[in-house]
Structure formats: C-alpha cells, structure tokens
Structure 1
C-alpha cells in the first residue's frame, strides 16, 4: 500500500509539466466551485453598529453568502472595533466575507442590501423619536442608492416600513421588516418544546400587526408534515396562544438570524420559503397603505408576492380586526 501511494501520489521530477498544469487546473476548478455560493459581487450595508447591528454583521459575514459587509455608524471607532473583531474571527469560523467599518452613510452607495439596525449611541429616545431618526436615515440613503432592498431589522420598525413607502416614496417591494420572521422563529421553538421535536420541523405563519395585534393561524400550522390540531389538545393550544405576547420583542440574536435569512432570500442566495415579514399592503387582505406581518416571497428587488393565507372564519375576523387597527 505504501509503494502504491508513493507511486500514485508523489510530486517529484518524474512528474511532467503537463501533469503539474493539470493538477493546478484541478485546484483552480475546485476553488471556482466553492465560490459559486456567491453568484455576483454582493454588498450588504448595515446602518448602525449597536448591539443589533453588530450581531447582524457577524451573522451575515459568518454565513458567507455575501462578498462584503459594510458596518456604518457615526461613531466610526465603535464600528471599526466591531468590524475588526468579526474579521479576525474569519479564520476560526472559516468565512471569506470582508467586513469594513465606515463613519459616513455614503458608504452605503452601491450596496445591494441596506439593513436598518441600531446606532451605537442611540440613547433613551422614545419610540416616535427613534422612528423619526430611522426615517431620516432612509431619506438620506435613498438620495444616493435607489436600488438597494431595505431591510428594517428592529422590533419597533413596523411604522418605519410604513412611512418609508408613504412619505419617502420608496417602492413597497423594496422595503421590508424582518422582526416578524424573528417572532415566527421564536414561536416555532415554543411549539417544538411542546412537541419535543426540532424547531426546524415546525411550520407556522405570523400575520397581523405585532406586538399589539399578532395573528397566528394555528389551523394551518404543522409539525413534521402533520397538522398541529391533530397533535395537540385544546389545553396545549391555549398554552401556546398565551405565550405569543411573551416572546416579544425578539432578542438581538434572533433578530440577526432572521435578518440574515431575509437578506439572503431577497438577494437570491438562499431559497427559504414561508418567511414572515413586515410589508406594506396595497389591497391584499382588504387593507391598503399599512405595514403588516404577512407571508412573502422574496427575490431580486425585494418582495415578489404577498401570500394570502387560508384562514378559518375566526382567524379571518382576528386578522381583519388587526389590520383595521380597531
């Protein structure tokens, strides 16, 4: 066996130049195949280097689906420290995404995706003031980057999605909120605990206007392909329903994971279906001009379709009430 390995595996003077070129060609082809995960030059700009912004930058970089992540924050030193920390973890986590830090918003020029996160020095501003600041950031962004898909990552960003379309005139397909996907993930985990199965085996939708008016159509929820109504009794459903408001707001790691998935799906890098996102409705489900949690299909340019669910009579009333705001 040793002689056989030497005979077939040696790289000495007896190997011809043509064989060497063939081996190099094989290595090049292998590298090329690995790089096919990224189909084109793709850049994500993350607006805000706070706790959420840093978590999103790390999650997107570590998954290796984009070429570059630009972490942008007026506190450039904080952004630089987090970007360096993430970049230094690349050798351990084995990713090649380049992470850079910037202090000016114009660094988002040319980005394919723009993620609205949290500033590193956001302070104790109220929700309205925070929404005003977020909308102003998107206004400035839209002046020099009109093609980027905007993902609002924060839990309180539903009004920002709504105002970005109504006040800034950004096409509704280009502005989405990722918080419902994080809530969807949290609820799948709770159901999995109840059934003692992996969360990935659970499928459910999140609709309405969380956190005030979330609607979970339990009639369509499944686990391992079986309807939950066949797996859980009435008491178990009551327990699950009572836990829905308790998992809001989602934490930064859940929000970061959901945002990464939304970005990848919208950029065509991952084919995840059934994502719940904030999107502005234009006649769907009888509502117009409001942002709501809905199941969306994402593709190049953002939202390609809003999926209207099959609901029971009771769930339909709950959704209509949630969308009417009454």
Structure 2
C-alpha cells in the first residue's frame, strides 16, 4: 500500500483555481482541519472516493483512419468489409456426460456452437439420456444442434474439439493430486480413441488434476502442444474476479483479473495486473482484503467439494470450457488463461502450466508473456516445480 496522502489547504486552493467544485478523498487520505475550513469557505465539497468516472469515448481504429482519409479527400470511399463472424463447429465431442460434460453440452447447444454434439460416458444410458433430453429442449429454444450419446469412444470421430471431463471427482479431504493414478488411466483410454478417430481435433482437458492430466494427454496422443489445452486459468480467473467484486462491492463486470500457475494449491492469482473499474486494487481494497481474495480463489474448488460432500464444481467449469471453445472459433479474441506445455516462456520449459495465450482454429497461437512482480514470478516457478515433482519429471 502507498503511504497515506495528506490533503492540506494548498491542495484545496489549487482545486479552486482549476475550477473544481468537488475534491475526491480516497481511502486512507488524511485531511487537515485547515483544509476542511478552506473547502467550506471556497465552496468545494470533500467527497469520499473513489468516484465513478465516465468512460472516455473510444473510436475504433478503422473508423478513425476512414475519417482522416475522408478529410484529405472527400471523394474517398471506404471499402466495404464484412463483419467478423464466429466459426460454427461441425462437431463437438464430450468425453464424460456428468455434471461438467452435461452442462457444456447444454451451453454449447444454446449458443449454437456446433452442428453436432456427441456425449460419451461409460455409465449405461447416461450420455444417450442427456442427448435426448437436450434434443427435447429444441422445440422450445429452437437450437439447431443435434445431440447424440452413447458409451463407445467411436463417437469422437470427426470432432473438431473434444472436451475431456471424464474421471473420478474429488471428495471432501481429497486434493486434486490424489486423483493422478486413477484418472491417468481414463485419460489414456480417451487419448487412444482421439488419436485414431479425431487426429485433427483440439483437445481441452478438464479432468483433475488438470495440469498433470494435460501432460498425460500430450504423452498419450503424441499431439503437438498447440492441440492439447487444459481448462484451468479461465475457471480460476473467474473465481478471482468474483472474490474481488464481492470484497469491493462492485459487479464482476467491473473487475479485470486473472490467475496463472497450476490448477491446485500452487495456483498464482496475479494482483499486480488486476484492476477494479480500471484502477489498481489498493485504491479499493487493503492488503489484507487482497490477500483474503487470493486465498478464496485457491480454496474455491475445495469449498464447493466440502458443501457437496460428493463431487466437485460443475457449472463454473462448464462456462470456463465454453470460453476456451469461443476463443478457438473466433467468437472471442485476446489472451485467455489456459494450461499448455511451456517451451521456455516465463523461463519455464517442459511442464504444463496456466499462462495467458491467444487461441485460434488450430488451438494455441502464441503465449503472451506479461511482466510480473518478483513474488508472482516465484509463485509461477514454484507451481512448475510442484507439477514436475508430482509427475516424477
């Protein structure tokens, strides 16, 4: 936290000379008695901040360029350009039709993401029932996607994106790392089918422990790192934004924040890059409040597990998976936190870790390297070492 600002009569007089009628007093500011007397005398209101500021109007770069060219020559006519349109997938496959897989299928159908949505689950009838249930909604929603379901992995054939959610869920008292051995077998079985029946698919791994299972998927498929992604940072970043919004009394839409590192105890929320209403966190929150938000993110998944007693979060992970799919099909642009195999980025090599990256039709486009504080960089390195140790790398 910065040292408190002392507001004296000189500051109030300066505000008067500038023609201001309101003086913003931020949390932690010290206002002298003389400053209060001066403000009352010159008619300036001392208002507790931070104040809501109107957003500056923003003009698209292309619009600005057209205006410049028109001023130079009014005869100039801007060329017509079709608006960018999100790509609709031919087929989306979901390995696992439980809480997360079923919700992903529902969200994908409602958002018209794919022509066909295939659900696969070893539980007899579960995937087929979920698919039929979703098809029955189309008479109300008008959704065009056709859903199919079954127990055979052959249903992944021809999928452009495969989301793998299958595996044992956590129970109270379990860490994500406790699931490595049992869920690695599930990943290897899924990888074999994906490699043979959907060799061009982009694979999104949701199965816990997520970073370790993403490594296992890479090994088992033999795919390049661009094709195998782990859904983690999207979910953890959403939890971070929610925690900051709750602590500061704003809506999550007013918060920009993301979380990197592992999807576990070593995850690394990045307070230095977070913003509330475009301003640093310490304008709104104390150091203790920020630390509490960081802790809330790290324990967020465990909180859901403790309340459910059996099973883990399903709705938020489904939305996070859809966010990655939207980046892949160009419905969203810009960097998004995603777990990928690092090759020297952030000084880390040979391990899967959550980092901001740009995605496209082929999966990973590039990693965006951000300037982090020394503490945040150390946390990222610690996460990488923990994953290496758990995998025996």
> What TM-score, normalized by structure 1, do the two folds share?
0.81
Q: Post-superposition shift, 1:99?
A: 1.2
Report 1:275-294 matches (<5 A). 275-294=336-355
Corresponding residue to 2:256 among 167, 185, 203: 203
Q: In structure 2, do the counterparts of structure 1 residues 299 and 38 end up closer, same or farther at CA, with 3 Å as the change threshold?
A: closer
The aligned counterpart of 1:315 is 376
Report 1:132-147 matches (<5 A). 132-147=185-200
Report 1:1-326 matches (<5 A). 39-40=87-88, 42-118=90-166, 126-249=179-302, 251-268=313-330, 270-325=331-386
Q: Post-superposition shift, 1:152?
A: 0.7
SS in 2 for 1:322: helix
Give ranges in structure 2 of 5+ residues lacking alignment. 1-83, 172-177, 303-311
Q: Post-superposition shift, 1:126?
A: 4.4
Q: Post-superposition shift, 1:116?
A: 0.4
Q: Give the number of equivalent residue pairs.
A: 289
Partners of 1:53 and 1:117 within 8 A in 2: yes
Mean CA deviation greater in 148-157 or 316-325: 316-325
Tell me which of the two structures has the higher relative contact order, counting C-alpha pairs closer than 8 angstroms and 6 or more residues apart.
1
Whole-angstrom CA distance in 1 between matches of 2:170 and 2:299: 25
> What TM-score, normalized by structure 2, do the two folds share?
0.68
Give ranges in structure 1 of 5+ residues lacking alignment. 1-35
Q: In structure 2, do the counterparts of structure 1 residues 126 and 246 end up closer, same or farther at CA, with 3 Å as the change threshold?
A: closer
Q: Post-superposition shift, 1:40?
A: 5.0
Q: Post-superposition shift, 1:231?
A: 2.3
Partners of 2:236 and 2:258 within 8 A in 1: no
* CA-atom RMSD in angstroms: 2.4
Q: Post-superposition shift, 1:118?
A: 2.1
The Cα offsets for residues 116-152 of structure 1, whole Å up to 9 and x where unpaired, read as 0126x98999431112221221122112211000001
**Which protein is bigger by CA-based radius of gyration?**
2
